Amino acid sequence: MEWINEIKKSDISNRILSFEDYMELFEKDPRKECRPSCVYFKDMFEHFGTDQQHTFNLFKTSSPSFAAVQGQHEPQEEIFQSISNFVEEGFNNKFILLVGPNGSSKSSLIKKIMDAGEDYSLTDEGSLYTFSWIFPVDSFIKGGLGFGAEKKQQALDTYAYIEDREVSAILGSDLKDHPILLIPLNKRRNILDKLFKDTPDYLNSIKKSYLYNSELSKRNKLIFDSLLKTHKGDYLEVYKYIRVERLFIDKRLSNSAVTIEPQMHVDANIQQITMDRRLASLPASLQSLNLFSLGGEVIMANRGILEFSDILKRPIDTYKYLLTTLENHAINLGGIISELDVLFIGSSNELHFNAFKQHPDYNSFRGRFNFIKVPYLLNYQLEENIYEGQVESLKDRCHFEKHAIKALSLWAVMSRLRKPNPKNYPDKKLGSLISLFSPLQKALYLSTGSVSEQFTHKEKQVLQANYDFVWDEYKNDPSYEGMFGISPRDMKQIIYDLANEYRLVTFIEVLEYLRDFSERKNEFDFLNIAPENDYHNTHKLIDLIESFILNQFDEEVRSSLGLIDERSYEDYISKYVHQIRAYIKGEKIKNTVTGKHEECDMFFIEEFENNVQIKDNRDDYRSHIISRLGAFSIDNPGAPLVMTEVFPDIIKFLKESFREEQKKVIREIGKSLVFYISDNHDAISNNSKQRIELLLENLRQEYQYSTEGAFQMLQYLIKRSY
């Protein structure tokens, strides 16, 4: 039972305080204690901080309840900015509505805010307080609860700390009123003016909030005034009945973190409680009051966050009350006006949002709503991260090889992209370059910033310098990128389908599944989008992914075999230029080791020219190379002479030349692989056997392939590429 002691040690102090003790705590840190919900949630964001990419950490942390949110940096920033704006206004004067396609993590963003709110409220920095009314039994006061009677000698200065057996009745605060609202309004204002006189900006914000301008909720006000009258205006006697309590945000208990589902029902209600037998022990002066209990999601969410899940699925009339509630930060229930301090946030899919914009009342709502777009991800690496937990949970019945989920994630992102339109770019050069991107090239560019080798060094610089412009091309377009395409929810189902069908899944099985999936046009609207070149051409997308993954695996195979070109192309070309320049001029070259001048290295020159597959007269080719260097210097005065920039065509030929040499080795392995897999090792040479075993070992150790997966992918690679 050591865990009990551990709980005691870690238990949060100051769960229960008297009003006097709370005021001492309040005066030590009034900024922390005097926070409306907008300030509280802004502080919460800042408490968890950001990473080096300025992404809020609270969305990145995983918990048993909610996985980390991948990507969505812009919506996160917009949510934070909206809350910051509320701070300037002094209260939450707008509804934050997250809009996007189904499964784009709208609800996940909200759940992470709630999750962080729970954690933050457990800390000292995030402590919140409310209060209850405590009425003691006769042992403390003569004559029942005996208002006006003489006290016994053991009478206390407060009833906050008395034992449960000594309590006659407890009345909680439905709206979780802040304890400082117990201070009379004018006196409270004087206190806040004095406490925050050195921070005028924060004082101005507080002056706009309910903490500076409002009274207690109706029931608490009735009780307070009745007790004050009974005790002949003695505030200290009234404060004896106050027990200040820690308020913990808790979604499971619907405590200041509440979700309203789309089904129709009332969000708040009122119920008379004066006749409740459980409250028969209240003082006589209170029993004569017409007391009511407030309930419903809006009430339970006070001083916290209220989520309207898929809000636009409900008829608009069911949430018209939000217009006046957001404007006045109060709700009217049966004539009882109750002040609210709630962060209102919700979600809607694009279909319902577009219908909402056609409604006659849309303009009325628009002024009270902040619309934040939450598209599908356009970064395949972040898309991969979504499925890590799912793949891990399936490992006992199915193994997903390297590149399998990458292929799936690339296809998902490519299904969400639009073909670049040069007319959208003021810079014609940039527009012409980006229009050359295939769906795969665009997906890689948006995910990693990498640019295809088909572009020159200068062109790459132009593209990399304008990354944000390319990312934002369709940002404000009605058919923005990420509005359509495959949903992560459907992606997860695809992974389950693959796991149910195969014990081992390589990218080969993934592509086979996607080819069949692409025919399900009756089920998925995005499969019916008219192709623009390769964009939205579902079969072409799969071919592009196949080629990309095969090239990556090919590089891994070559590396595993030690077939890597270790040459520095810059040095290799520089040496060639140095040699042919001396050859053309009929000069000798100084040997840097011996210091002697020697004839040109014709063996090196001819080897180089063979590697770049020269078909013209070699003397003419050499003169052409020197001329290109001169032309580059004239066109780029003062620019450093970088051979790989001047001669990108030579780089291409050199790589292809070395690749042809490698192909011979891999073809030989391909011939022997069939015998090796069938355990017919006698049919292959020892050299081939050793090479295959080296290859498999390196693929396992360096690239984390299974033996079976490596065999399957090797056979597929050799069949397709060799």
Statement to judge: residues 417 and 512 lie in one domain: yes
**Assigned domain for 304 exists:** no
Question: Do 419 and 527 reside in the same domain of the chain?
Answer: yes
- Is residue 580 domain-shared with residue 707, that is, in the same domain? no
So what's the pLDDT on residue 648? Answer: 80
Domain count, the chain: 3
pLDDT given at position 534: 93
Q: Are 704 and 661 part of one and the same domain?
A: yes
Residue-wise pLDDT tens digits, 361-407 = 898 888 899 999 999 999 999 999 999 989 999 999 999 999 999 99
- Whether the predicted pLDDT of 151 surpasses 60: no
Q: According to the model, what pLDDT value does residue 154 have?
A: 41
Does residue 536 share a domain with residue 389?
A: yes
- The model's confidence at residue 148, banded by pLDDT at 50, 70 and 90, is very low
pLDDT at position 670, please?
A: 76
Residue type present at position 82 = S
pLDDT in the model for residue 125: 94
- Residue 254 is assigned to a structural domain of this protein: no
Give a yes or no: residue 238 inside a domain: no
Residues 704, 591, single domain; the answer is no
Domain final position from 593, 624, 646? 646
589: containing domain: 569-646
Instruction: Please check the confidence at residue 145 and state whether its pLDDT lies above 50.
Output: no
Burial class (CB in 10 A: 0-12, 13-18, 19+), 161: middle
- The verdict on 619 and 663 lying in the same domain is no
579 and 549 assigned to the same domain: no
What does the mean pLDDT of the chain come to? 86
400 is a domain residue: yes
521 and 546 assigned to the same domain: yes
Please report whether residue 111 resides in a domain. Answer: no
Q: How crowded is the C-beta side of 532, counted as CA atoms within 13 Å?
A: 14
- Predicted confidence at residue 391, as pLDDT, reads 93
- Same domain for 413 and 511? yes
How many Cβ atoms sit within 10 Å of the Cβ of residue 458? 11
Half-sphere exposure of 252 (CA within 13 A, CB side): 4
* DSSP β-ladder status, 343-348 and 95-99: parallel
Stretch 634-655: mean pLDDT: 81
Last residue of a domain, one of 492, 526, 560: 560
Distance CA 139, CA 152 (A): 8
Confidence at 165, pLDDT banded by 50, 70, 90 = confident
One domain, residues 528 and 484:
yes
Quick check: 330 and 93 in contact, CB under 8 A?
A: no
Given a cut of 80, whether residue 73 has pLDDT beyond it is yes
Decide if 191 is inside a domain: no
Whether residue 385 is contained in a domain is answered as yes
Q: Please state which of the ranges 294-303, 329-338, 531-540 shows the lowest mean pLDDT.
A: 329-338
- Residue 441, pLDDT score: 95
Q: How far is it, in rounded angstroms, from Cα 176 to Cα 304?
A: 10
Are 399 and 504 members of one domain? yes
Domain-ending residue, one of 646, 681, 701: 646
